[in-house]
A and B are shown apart, each in its own frame.
Chain A
């Protein structure tokens, strides 16, 4: 079966760095997405990786290793507004998105 695993919840301190991991087992691979979802709101796009390596976008970076079925989202200089759930999703060989359950990130002052 197809599976996306990510931690249920993480806690970090304002100003610090946090890494949210995502491992996947899917039928084929056509890219990996990260979305941010604040409580009670819609998911919004953060990043897309299809090749191995690190993609940097401001305070957020996303890394992909296709051979290991692994990705992480790195958030630097954490702000209180970064408190949200972070959703990992993989595009399989049929171009269908398989979603993880999300990681709830709690930022403490």
Chain B
């Protein structure tokens, strides 16, 4: 099993550009989520999904969109990148339909916005 696969691993954007971070899991997990990790801070939840067709906002959703058309995929879209979105992004999935379970994380995507 591949687990949780994130692409790309590294990306540099200019302010105002858009892009999509891809996330796919092959464990048939209902719960999927996106976090950002910044130095000196805990992981912060951006968006999450408890199943196909269902998404909800986390702690820091502004500037990001998500969709969940299949159980496997949960892409994160940056519509107009800003320097404040420079961060490391992690996709995570878990069994069950809430965050009340062990999370499996992807390898991370390091994004720099100039």
> Across the interface, which residues of A come within 8 angstroms of B105, CB to CB?
42-44
Of A31, A41, A42, A44, the contact of B100 (CB 8 Å cutoff)? A31
CB <8 Å contact, B90 and A91: no
Q: Are B107 and A41 in contact (CB under 8 A)?
A: yes
Chain B 62-111 residues near chain A, CB threshold 8 A:
90, 98-100, 102-108
User: Bound state CA distance, A4 and B43, in angstroms?
Assistant: 11
**Closest residue of chain B to A8, judged by CB?**
B40
Q: A99 contacts the other chain (Cβ, under 8 Å)?
A: yes
Q: Which of A20-63 contact B (CB under 8 A)?
A: 30-31, 33, 40-45, 48
Please determine whether A96 and B107 come into contact, CB atoms closer than 8 angstroms: no
Encoded as 1 (CB less than 8 Å from any A CB) or 0, chain B from 32 to 52 comes to 000000001111110000000
How many inter-chain residue pairs (CB < 8 Å) link A and B? 47
Complex contact B102–A45 (CB within 8 A): yes
| Interface bracket on B | 10 to 19
List residues of chain A with CB within 8 A of the CB of B103: 43, 45, 97
- Are A42 and B42 in contact, with the CB atoms below 8 A? no
The residue in chain A whose Cβ has the minimal distance to the Cβ of B50 is A95
Contact A87 B43 (CB under 8 A): yes
Q: How many residues of A contact B (CB 8 A)?
A: 23
A95 touches B100 (CB 8 A): yes
Q: Are B99 and A97 in contact (CB under 8 A)?
A: yes
The reply to whether B107 and A101 form a contact with Cβ atoms under 8 Å apart is no
Contacting residues of chain A (65-101) with chain B, CB-CB under 8 angstroms = 87, 89, 91, 95-101
User: Could you list 19 further interchain pairs (A-B, Cβ under 8 angstroms) beyond the known A30-B100, A101-B42?
Assistant: A41-B107, A42-B106, A43-B43, A43-B103, A43-B105, A45-B102, A45-B103, A45-B104, A95-B99, A96-B58, A96-B99, A97-B99, A97-B103, A98-B42, A99-B43, A99-B44, A100-B42, A101-B40, A101-B41
> Which residues of A are interface residues toward B (Cβ below 8 A)?
4, 8, 30-31, 33, 40-45, 48, 87, 89, 91, 95-102
